[in-house]
Amino acid sequence: MKITVNGSSHEIDAPDDMPLLWAIRDRLKLTGTKYGCGVAQCGACTVMVDGQPKRSCVTPLKFAAGHDITTIEGMDGAEFEAIQTAWRAIDVPQCGFCQSGQVMTATALLKEKPAPSDTDIDNALAGNICRCATYVRIRQAVRDAADTLEA
């Protein structure tokens, strides 16, 4: 299987039903994308596929091939930078394990909705579990990032 990750093409010798998550983590050793549940319940494995957020744990390689995949390591752009800056300004992470996925989803939200309401934030991020429950700060950081983008 040939997949394009962060702008580079990689030949992966693996069955075509292997989830993208394991190709990214175990083969390409891009470990910012996390395994948290394996069944699209927690969002820790979120990557961008053609600019849309995808749960890589339930995306078989055959559906990833031919698409442009971006992991947290390859993210850039105004929305991503605004999110990252806002995250750091108020120390959002605790254990940090879910945060790659949170940041990916939040970035995807701002790309589509630069001035999200609190409901928009909740709707986008309801699929990203944080067991440390940093949700108060996640919500605040997304608002802050949106304000930065607007300014």
Partner 1 sequence: MRMPAVVNIVRTASLAAVLGVALLGNAQATEIDADQQLKGPEAFEHIEDETERSRAMFKEAGKVIQHPRCVNCHPVSDTPRQGMDMRPHEPPVVRGPDNHGAPGMVCSTCHQPENVDSAGNGVPGNPNWHLAPRSMAWYGKSLAEICTQIKDQDRNGGMDMDELIHHMAEDSLVGWGWNPGGDRTPVPGTQEKFGELFAAWAHSGAHCPAE
Partner 2 sequence: MSVTTTSLSRRDFLRSAAWGSAGLVIAMALPGRGRAATMDTQAANSSLIASDAAGFAPNAFVRIAPDDTVTVLIKHIEFGQGPFTGLSTLVAEELDADWSQMRAASAPANAELYKNFAFGMQGTGGSTAIANSYMQMRKAGATARVMLVQAAAEQWSVPVGEISVDKGRISHAGSDKSAGFGEFAEAAAKLDPPEDVALKKAGDFRLIGTDVPKLDTNIKTNGEALFTQDLHHDDMLTVVVAHPPQFGATMKSVDASAAKSTPGVVDVQPIPTGIAVYAQDTWSALQGRRALKVSWDTARAETRSTREITDAYRQRAQQPGRKAASRGKPEQGGDGLAKTLTAEYSFPYLAHAPMETLDCVIHAKDGAVESWFGSQLQTGDQGTMAEILGVKPAQVSIHTMYAGGSFGRRAQPGSPFAAEAAHVAKAHAKSRPLKLVWTREDDIQGGWYRPLNVHRLSGGVDADGNVALWDQTIVGQSIFSGSAFAAMIKDGIDPSSVEGAEDLPYGIPNFRVTLHDGEAGVPILWWRSVGHTHTAYSTETFVDELLEMAGKGPVEGRLALLGEHPRHAGVLKAVADLAGGLDASESGRARGVAVHKSFGSYVAQIAEVSQNEDRTPKVHKVWCAVDCGVAVNPNVIRAQMEGGIGFGLGAALYNEITLEEGGRVAQANFDRYRSLRIHEMPDVEVTIVTSDEDPTGVGEPGVPPIAPALANAWRRLTGDAIRDLPFVKIS
**Residue numbers at the binding site for partner 2 (CB under 8 A):** 5-8, 10, 14-15, 18-19, 22, 25-39, 41-42, 44, 71-74, 84, 87-88, 91-100, 103, 121-123, 125-139
Is residue 63 involved in binding partner 1 (CB under 8 A)?
Answer: yes
Distance CA 100, CA 43 (A): 9
CA dihedral 65→71→76→78, nearest 10 degrees, is 100
Using CB under 8 A as the binding rule, the residues of this chain from 109 to 138 that contact partner 1 are 109, 112-113, 116, 120, 123-127
Nearest-approach distance from CB 33 to partner 2, in angstroms: 7
Residue with tokens 């991020």: 125
Residues contacting partner 1: total by CB under 8 A: 30
Identify which range of 73-81, 82-90, 107-115, 131-139 contacts partner 1 by CB under 8 A: 107-115
Closest to 44 measured CA to CA, from 21, 28, 67, 14: 21
Task: Report CA Rg, the chain.
Answer: 15
